[in-house]
């Protein structure tokens, strides 16, 4: 089985690749090749694995290399993120819409030529949802809630969702869409995502560094830990098609399970884990542009569809921080409880 991950050098891409390399199998079959595709070269440790093949460069320009041999499963994680899409519309359209369309066409060409039907797993976002004066968000959002994105990023993700659904309806590929919650706590340096501060207000103080929170503490958000996010992506990818228990029914996206917390809750957890000195490193400095994007996203989700696949949200934010500490102890310099 030849599996491709686009955006393989990104945070979720690295975790997904690591999970597949540990398992050496997917859906009960051995992995023959794991293709890591990204504009950024992967780390040396992964390249040295005999299963790994690297495709380095702009995806649209590298499709011949990605599809040089038949592709069985394609995890499409590559994307420009929320704030940069709002700043640079053309960048977002190319990275998110044009690239996705090109990948889908390549998968279609493979099946039309008699190759295997590609299972395409696409990482969408809760940002497809938003509130409109004529269609406000309900208190609890599920997959049947009409998506009304309030950012270019959310709109681009929604366009891709519809493209994948139609390519699937036409029998060109087997598309599965997962809508990711905000993934936190992420290690490493901040990225251009509007939600990046939700990791920064925990990660930086734990490392003894000051950071800024650009939203009001009372803002509620929907989060998923890195561990639960990768678990959800793989579960949806491997699910059997059908209408029975634990099967994937229809072409609708699946919301990965969400943990709802406020920013104040997150800071209280930081205080519990690392004391007042860590919380004092967080400066509340409202940024209307960032809050406009993040506050437009729903915070409370009905998780029943994910639960039917055996998925559950993180039990609380304390468990999320503990997972982060366990996985990235070398990045923590301050005291923890």
The residues annotated with a catalytic role in the active site are 153
Q: 3-state SS of the chain? A: CEEEEECCCCHHHHHHHHHHHHHCEECCEECCEEEEEECCCCCHHHHCCCCEEEEECCHHHHHHHHCCCCCCEEEECCCCCHHHHHHCHHHHHHHHHHHHHHHHHHHHHHHHCCCCCCEEEEEEEHHHCCCECCECCCCCECCCCCCCCCCHHHHHHHHHHHHHHHHHHCCCCEEEEEEECEECCCCCCCCCCHHHHHHHHHHHHHCCCCEEECCCCCCEEEEECHHHHHHHHHHHHHCCECCCCCCECCCCCEECCCEEEEHHHHHHHHHHHHCHHHHCCEEECCCHHHHHHHHCCCCCECCHHHHHCCCCCCCCHHHHHHHHHHHCHHHCCCCCC
Burial of 133 (0-12, 13-18, 19+ CB in 10 A): exposed
Q: How many CA atoms lie within 13 A of 309 on its CB side?
A: 25
CA-closest candidate to residue 328, choices 165, 232, 211, 188: 188
CA 211 and chain centroid, separation: 23
In whole angstroms, what is the distance from residue 285 CA to residue 211 CA?
10
């Amino acid at each position: 089985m030849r599996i491709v991950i686009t955006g393989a050098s990104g945070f979720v891409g690295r975790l997904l690749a690591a999970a597949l390399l540990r398992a050496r199998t997917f859906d009960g079959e051995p992995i023959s090749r794991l293709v890591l595709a990204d504009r950024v070269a992967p780390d040396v440790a992964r390249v040295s694995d005999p299963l790994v093949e690297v495709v380095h460069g702009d995806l649209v320009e590298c499709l011949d290399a990605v599809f040089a041999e038949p592709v069985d499963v394609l995890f499409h994680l590559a994307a420009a993120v929320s704030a940069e899409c709002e700043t640079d519309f053309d960048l977002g359209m190319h990275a998110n819409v044009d690239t996705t369309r090109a990948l889908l066409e390549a998968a279609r060409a493979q099946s039309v030529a008699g190759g295997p039907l590609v299972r395409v797993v696409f990482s969408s976002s809760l940002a497809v949802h938003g509130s409109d004066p004529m269609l406000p968000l309900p208190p609890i959002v599920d997959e049947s809630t009409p998506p009304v994105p309030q950012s270019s990023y959310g709109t681009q993700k929604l366009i891709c969702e519809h493209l994948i659904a139609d390519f699937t309806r036409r029998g060109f590929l087997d598309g599965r869409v997962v809508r990711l919650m905000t993934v936190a706590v992420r290690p490493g340096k901040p990225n251009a995502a509007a939600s990046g501060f939700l990791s920064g207000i925990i990660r930086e103080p734990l490392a003894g560094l000051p950071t800024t929170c650009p939203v009001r503490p009372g803002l509620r958000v929907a989060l998923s830990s890195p561990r639960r996010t990768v678990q959800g992506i793989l579960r949806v990818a491997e699910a059997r098609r059908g209408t029975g228990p634990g099967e994937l029914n229809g072409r609708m996206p699946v919301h990965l399970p969400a943990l709802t917390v406020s920013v104040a809750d997150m800071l209280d957890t930081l205080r519990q884990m690392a004391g007042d000195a860590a919380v004092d490193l967080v400066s509340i400095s409202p940024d209307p542009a960032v809050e406009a994007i993040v506050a437009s996203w729903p915070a409370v989700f009905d998780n029943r569809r994910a639960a039917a696949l055996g998925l559950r949200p993180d039990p609380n934010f304390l468990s999320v921080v503990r997972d982060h500490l366990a996985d990235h102890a070398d990045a923590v310099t301050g005291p923890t409880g």
